[in-house]
Amino acid sequence: MTEPTESKTDVLIIGAGPSGLMAAAWMAHMGVKARIVDKRNTKIFSGQADGLQCRSLEIFDSLGFGDRAWKEAHHMIEICMWNPGQDGVIRRSDRIPDTIVGLSRFQQIVLHQGRIERFFLDNIKKYSGDTIHVERGVLPESLEIDADKVDDDEAYPVTVKLRTLSAEEATPQQQITGSKVADGLFRSNLINEDDEADLIKKSAARAGATEIVHAKYVIGCDGARSWTRRALGFELVGEATDFIWGVMDIIPFTDFPDIRMRCAIHSAKNGSLMVIPRENKMVRLYIQLKEVTPDASGRADRSKITPDIIFSAAQKILAPYKIDYEYCDWWTAYQIGQRVGTSFDAHNRVFLAGDAVHTHSPKAGQGMNVSMQDCYNLGWKVGLVAQGIAKRSILSSYQSERRQIAQDLIDFDHKFSRLFSGRPAKDVMDAEGVSMEEFKDAFLKGNMFASGLSVNYGPSTIVAKPGDAAEQEDFEKKQALATGLPVGMRFNSFKVLNQADARPWHFQERLKADGRFRVVLFAGDILKPEQKARVDKFCELLDAPASFLHRATPEGQAIDGVIEVLTIHSSKRVDTELLRDFPAILHPLDPHRGWDYDKVFVDDVSYHEGYGDAYKNYGVDRERGCVVVVRPDQYVAWVGELDDFEHLERYFAGCLVLRA
C-alpha cells in the first residue's frame, strides 16, 4: 500500500450533483481555490429531477447559462386540473397559468438534470480555466475537524481522506429490466442498502490511491444518504407516508387532450396522476400506486414494482382516455416521506446542502431547485471568507437562512402530497375525501412558493432588518424608500437603459454571480441642482480614501473588485451625459481600458423593448431616489437614503473585512 499524498485546498466540495456543481460554479466565478469530488464515475444520463423554478433560471442567468436552459427546455405554461364529475368520469375542471404572471422574467420549465449538469460543467470550465473540474470515482473515507483551529482565518482545520475508486466500483449498478429500460431504483428511497458503505468496504480490500486533503471549508452535497452528514453524526428527521408513487418518462400515444400540459388528475377511485410534459416529445407521469402498500416495517417491497404495474395504474386513472407507449426512457418508484437535517453545519467549517439536509417527494418539482439554491446561498459566503474579503461571522447566516427554507419545503410538500394522494371528496359531506377546491387553492398558493421567489431571509449581519421591535419603525421608514425591493428578498428585475449606448437591459442581468456586493444608487433626477448636490456628496464620501468602498478593496485591485456601484437615474437619457453629469466614481477610469461605460443606467423608454418603468416598479421616488445594497446572490440587503452614508458604512463594516 502506497503512502497517501497530502494536499491543501481552500474549499473541498463532496458530491457533483446540481447542488455541488452550484458551489463549484461560485468558486470558479470568484477565483477561489477549490476541488470537487464525486464517487460516481459518470454524470447521470436520464431520469432524475427536472423542474426548474423561475428563481433557478434567474440564478442560471447570473452564472451565464440561463439562455441555454431556456432554449432547450420544455416550457410549462398552463396547469390543467382534472377531477371526477358526478358520473365519476374525469373531466377538465380548471386551467391556471403554471407560473404566476408578472413574477419573473422567466417561467417554470422542464429539462433533464443531465443537461443542467452539462451547463454547470461547461460554465465551471470556462470560468476556472479548467482548474476546477469534477474528480470522479473519488470517495471520502474520513473527515476530521480540528476544533482548536476553526476560528483561525489562516488555518486548514478540516482533514478529509479521499480514495480513488476503480472504474468498476464507481459505476452505479442499474437494474436492467426485460424492457431494457434503465430504472432509477438505485437512487430512489425504496432502496435499503447503503452502497457507499459497500463501496468503501470493497475499496479497503485493494490498494487504491488515497490522499489526505487539508481544507479550509468542506461542503457536503452528497445526497439523501450523505456520507458527509453521517461523518458529522448529523441526522435527517421526519417520516415516510404510506403513499407509493411510480414515475415513468415515456413518449405517449394517447387521445387525452392535455398531454402536453402539466396536469393534476384525481380519479374517482383509482388514485391520482400528474402529467409533466418534457422535451423531445417525452412526458413524465407521476402515478399513484394504490395496489402497492408498505409492509409491517413501513417499507414497500420494491420487487413487486414493475413498469407494467405502474403503467396499468396510469391507464386506469386516465380512463376513459386511452394511453400507450412504445418508448420508455426511465422509470422508478418512491415512497413519499419528508425529512430535514438536524444541523446544516459543523463549526461553520463543514456544511451540508441539498438532499443531504432535506428530502421529500419529487412531484412538487422543488428538490433540485432548493438544493441548488442552498449552495447559491452558501457558495459566495464561503468564497469571500476564504479570500479574506468577508468576515467569518457571515457563515452562520447559511443555517439560519436555509434551514427555514428546508422546513417550509417539507411543510409544503407534506400538505401538497396529502392533498394529491388523497381520494377526491364525493361532495361537501365527504369529510374523508379531499376537497377539490382546497386542492386548487393549495396549488395556487403553492405556485408562489414553487417559483422560488417567496424566499424572505431574516435579519443577520448581511440582511439589515430589525432584530427587535425597537428598530422596527426606523426600518419601515427606510423600506418605504423602495417598496418594490423588500429587504431579505431577491432583487426584482425591470428594464433600464445603459446611459452610454441606450441598450435596454433587464437590471438583474447586471447582477452577475461574481462574488461582488453591489450598491445600487437610485440617483433620482440628477438634473435638479439640489438632487445633483446630494449625488455629488454621496459620491464624494464614497470616493474618500477612508470610505468603506476603498477599505473593502484589497490594495492593487480595481475599485469595483469587491463592491460594484451601479446607478439608475430618472432624468431623460437624451438630456444627460455620462461624463458630464455623473461623478467619476460612478464610471471609474481604468488606466488601460478607459472609462467604464457599463455602470450607469437610466429609467427611460427604449426604442424596441418598451418601457421598464423601473422607479415605479421598484417603488422609488423619481426625484430623491435612494440607495440599495444587493448581496452577491441578488438578495436585497439594505435600503436607505443617499444621506444615510454612515448607516451604509456600518452595514459593510459588519460583514466585510475593512482595511485599517
Tell me, letter by letter, the H, E, C secondary structure of 212-280.
Answer: EEEEEEEEECCCCCCHHHHHHCCCEEEEEEEEEEEEEEEEEEECCCCCCCEEEEECCCCCEEEEEECCC
Distance set, CA 595 to CA 114, 497, 544, 566, 579 (Å): 42, 18, 19, 14, 9
Q: Which stretch binds its own copies (CB under 8 A): 8-16, 125-133, 431-439, 605-613?
A: 605-613
Q: List the one residue from 124, 285, 578, 648 that touches its own copies (CB under 8 A).
A: 578
Residues 563 and 516 sit within 8 Å (Cβ to Cβ): yes
Q: How far apart are CA 248 and CA 253, in angstroms?
A: 14
Q: Does 47 bind its own copies (CB under 8 A)?
A: no
Q: How far is the CB of 264 from its own copies (least distance, A)?
A: 16
Centre a 10 Å sphere on the Cβ of residue 296 and count the other Cβ atoms it contains.
5
Nearer to its own copies among residue 147 and residue 502 (C-beta): 502
Q: Does 233 bind its own copies (CB under 8 A)?
A: no
Q: What angle do CA 392, 394, 400 make, to 5 degrees?
A: 130
Residues 656 and 548 sit within 8 Å (Cβ to Cβ): yes
Q: Which stretch binds its own copies (CB under 8 A): 127-135, 216-224, 527-535, 586-594?
A: 586-594
Write out the H or E segment, with its range, that includes residue 534. Answer: helix 529-543
Q: Which stretch binds its own copies (CB under 8 A): 70-78, 115-123, 124-132, 284-292?
A: 70-78
Q: Does 577 bind its own copies (CB under 8 A)?
A: yes
Q: How far is the CB of 596 from its own copies (least distance, A)?
A: 9
The catalytically annotated residue of 286, 325, 615, 618 is 286
Q: Does 257 bind its own copies (CB under 8 A)?
A: yes
Q: How far apart are CA 515 and CA 383, in angstroms?
A: 8
> Is 424 labeled as catalytic in the residue annotation?
no
Q: Does 608 bind its own copies (CB under 8 A)?
A: yes
Q: Which stretch binds its own copies (CB under 8 A): 75-83, 211-219, 238-246, 440-448?
A: 75-83
By CB under 8 A, what part of segment 142-201 binds its own copies? none
> Is 206 labeled as catalytic in the residue annotation?
no
Q: Which stretch binds its own copies (CB under 8 A): 233-241, 255-263, 336-344, 403-411?
A: 255-263
Residue 350 has phi, psi (to 5 degrees) of -120, 130
Nearer to its own copies among residue 480 and residue 502 (C-beta): 502
Centre a 10 Å sphere on the Cβ of residue 179 and count the other Cβ atoms it contains.
11
> Is 362 labeled as catalytic in the residue annotation?
yes
Nearer to its own copies among residue 254 and residue 393 (C-beta): 254
Q: Please count the helices (runs of H) and the strands (runs of E) in the chain.
A: 17, 28
Kindly write down the DSSP assignment for every residue of 55-80, as one continuous string. Answer: HHHHHHHHHT-HHHHHHHSEEP-EEE
Q: List the one residue from 597, 623, 650, 659 that touches its own copies (CB under 8 A).
A: 597
Q: Does 503 bind its own copies (CB under 8 A)?
A: yes
The catalytically annotated residue of 10, 38, 50, 581 is 50
Nearer to its own copies among residue 257 and residue 554 (C-beta): 257
Distance set, CA 485 to CA 221, 456, 478 (Å): 31, 11, 11
Q: How far is the CB of 343 from its own copies (least distance, A)?
A: 40
Q: How far is the CB of 278 from its own copies (least distance, A)?
A: 11
- Across the strands, what pairs with 312? none
> Is 597 labeled as catalytic in the residue annotation?
no
Q: List the one residue from 18, 47, 220, 252 that touches its own copies (CB under 8 A).
A: 252
The three-state secondary structure class of 379 is helix
By CB under 8 A, what part of segment 275-314 binds its own copies? 277, 281
Q: List residues binding its own copies (CB under 8 A).
A: 67, 71, 74-78, 95, 97, 99, 101, 107, 251-255, 257, 259-261, 277, 281, 326-327, 498, 500-504, 574, 577-580, 592-595, 597, 606-608
- Residues acting as catalytic residues: 50, 278, 286, 362
